[in-house]
Chain A
Amino acid sequence: MELAVSFAGVVKCFGAFTALDGVSLDIAEGEFFGLLGPNGAGKTTLISCLAGLARPDHGRITVLGRDVVQDYLAARRLLGIVPQELVFDPFFTVRETLRIQSAYFGLRRNDAWIDEILHNLDLTDKAGTNMRYLSGGMKRRVLVAQALVHRPPVIVLDEPTAGVDVELRQGLWRFIRRLNQDGHTIILTTHYLEEAEALCGRIALMKQGRILALDSTANLLARFTGHTLVLRLAEGQVLPQDLLPLSRAAREGELQLHLEQLQQLEGILAALRLAGVQIEDLQLQSPDLEDVFMSIVGTGKEGG
């Protein structure tokens, strides 16, 4: 299968600051790929280099084999980018914005596809509205629509659901999933780990301009065997001494115990009963991407 996007040894510095420190990463056609990392990890810089908004100091980036610097016109035709910032052109209506965007790609009769995008993003009744009068969530949808007008084979969404309501997030992901099923490659950067876990087949974790982990979502999760028992004890109650080694960082009023195996649960409950500890609430959780993320990004090196 051809590579949708390839980053090879990409370095980008802003003065003395190294934003990307030799990033190498291949994304295959048809993947739903997640790019995760804390603020300042270099995710947006990497996307900017891919989009041609920033120029790498070293390394090479290709989109379906087209070099984004040497063959930038061809590479940009293959890319649809949803920028992170909520930007808009205040002179035009939603439909005009999408028609102009289509025309940049040489598509002058694109209304059938524009109507389909508007419908899928629940924007049909806003088609004639000036961009200035749309809410933040609506403007975000138009940004997504703009990135899709030319049916790009590779779609990049840079924090597309930051600050938008649950309804839009769900609607947007249904649409993006369908595009992925139709063969579009999707690259997503997000802060919402549950989103990445639910959508992405493969994930790269970035920190300080480097890729710390790159694996399938399933493999990343599998590195974290075991379960977490979340306990809320009655007021004044404390954990028995022999359970303290299992205790992990706790949220307010909650205790978290790490279980390597599910069979440990019976012993823990017995120990609590024996110590006469009263339990207000109890939950058993499977590992999630947040555990992986915190472990790897927290230490700055690959963990498992």
Chain B
Amino acid sequence: MFELNGFRALLYKELLRFWRVAFQTVAAPVLTALLYLLIFSHVLEADRQVHGVPYAAFLVPGLVMMSVLQNAFANSSSSLIQSKVTGSIVFVLLPPISHGAFFWAFVMAAAIRGLVVGLGVWLVTLPFVSSGLAAPGWVLLFALLGGGIMGSLGVIAGIWADKFDQLAAFQNFLVMPLTMLSGVFYSIHTLPRFWQVASHYNPVFYMIDGFRYGFFGVSDVDPGQSLIVILVCFTGLALLTLSLLKRGWKLRT
């Protein structure tokens, strides 16, 4: 059962919420990504090439996608934990908002924040590195699906956590390692054999790799395979989140 009015209103509210504090939710992560680019490209450049492109250019898509993923997660999880802690969650639990509308509003708002930050990161890196777009459709598809996956994970984490430090643990011990060890800063072919194999069990690796394919037309694994992996991930997480919302897990007693 999908309730369009509730979905539209909740999506609008979630977008307005992060836009109201855009300095913190958009400008800050863009600056962080820019600092990564400047430092890593300065330290590691030295004529280094990955997949036939200069290291700084190789780094940009990874940083953009990492920003998309981390900010999508931050959006849904922080919105939910804040409203749970302050009690204002009742404003979305009392109206006629179906669990489907609730899910899609939070996930789409998360993905949109991820895309806005990702676009910001890409734009600020343009003066330093020119990176073309070999397949823009793949870029958009992977960004949307990646944002959707992390937005769903954020919904689960935001509902699960009772306190801000529990959410921080989720972010620091799961989201951060998965994104940092996913090939943002390197091609997995440069890793020892064990870590190459291990990386294939990290779904974020496929998000980054497929996204990077959209920029350069080359990737560590076939982008079709990456797409299947992240479609399966998104579908699985979406079904899990929807069933938790339907049960009212930790939201309705």
Contact = CB atoms under 8 A, between A and B. Distances in A.
A104 interface: yes
A92 B16 contact: yes
B8 interface: yes
Interface residues of A, number: 30
Nearest to A86: B87
B96 A72 contact: yes
Contacts of A81: 90, 94
Interface string B11-24: 01100110011000
A101 B93 contact: no
B1 A87 contact: no
Contact of A104 (B1, B5, B252, B253): B5
A89 B93 CA distance: 14
Interface in B52-100: 83, 86-88, 90-98
Interface residues of B, number: 29
A254 to B, nearest CB: 41
Given A103-B12, A104-B10, A77 B96 contact: yes
Nearest to B17: A91
A44 to B, nearest CB: 11
B31 to A, nearest CB: 22
A76 interface: yes
Nearest to A131: B88
Interface in B86-135: 86-88, 90-98
Contacts of B146: none
B12 A52 contact: no
A88 B88 contact: yes
B253 A101 contact: no
B94 A87 contact: no
A53 B9 contact: no
A26 interface: no
Interface in A86-110: 87-92, 96, 100-101, 103-106
B97 to A, nearest CB: 6
B6 interface: yes
B3 interface: yes
Contacts of A14: 253
A100 B12 contact: yes
B87 A103 contact: no
A75 B90 CA distance: 16
B86 A90 contact: yes
Contacts of B9: 100, 103-104
B248 interface: yes
A76 B94 contact: yes
A89 B83 contact: yes
Max chain B Cβ within 10 angstroms of own Cβ: one of A72, A77, A104: A104
